[in-house]
Amino acid sequence: MPEYGYSSSVYDRATDVRGSLREVDISPKAARELATAIRGLPISRARAILNDVVDIKRPVAFRRYKLKVGHKAGLNGFAAGRYPRKAALKFLELLDNLESTADFKGFDPSSIVLVHITAYPGRKLKRSMPRAMGKTSPKNKILVHVEAIGRVM
């Protein structure tokens, strides 16, 4: 099993907790937009946003990947948005991981703020789809790494 590092150097053992999801089968684009939406928030507020996304009450603004994305009401300053439910469920698992790590270290889980959260593409699973006349087309699946660092405030 490979050993993964973290992409950020803001981690301080005395005041921070960190967690990660490795090679998760979610959309890299949706994961990136969700990470941007909850970065810098307390865990309780981030959890409320993610639960609203799962319940299809609050859309997530798609800032970078917005071509052919429908407009949604309720986005401040952005028009394009979606409800990435599958990615939001995985992010909720990551927040559970951060809270349990904080509990283990003796911190108050309600006082943690997400100072660093990122999602980036991981391994690419190469597949092919059969076509007519004996040809094939690539059908690749990209797995995602998600990292989060929370600081006690």
| pLDDT band per the 50, 70, 90 thresholds, residue 69 | very high
Q: Residue 67 falls within a domain, yes or no? A: yes
pLDDT of residue 39: 96
| Residue 94 scores a pLDDT above 90 | yes
Q: Residue 5 falls within a domain, yes or no? A: no
Region 38-60: what's the mean pLDDT?
97
Under 8 Å between Cβ of 153 and 126: no
Under 8 Å between Cβ of 21 and 96: no
Whole domain around residue 68: which residue ranges? 16-152
Q: Residue 40 falls within a domain, yes or no? A: yes
114 φψ region: left (φ > 0), alpha (ψ -120 to 50), beta (else): beta
107 strand-pairing partners = none
| pLDDT band per the 50, 70, 90 thresholds, residue 53 | very high
Q: Residue 89 falls within a domain, yes or no? A: yes
At 68, which CATH number? 3.90.470.10
- How many domains, in total, are found in the chain? 1
| Residue 28 scores a pLDDT above 70 | yes
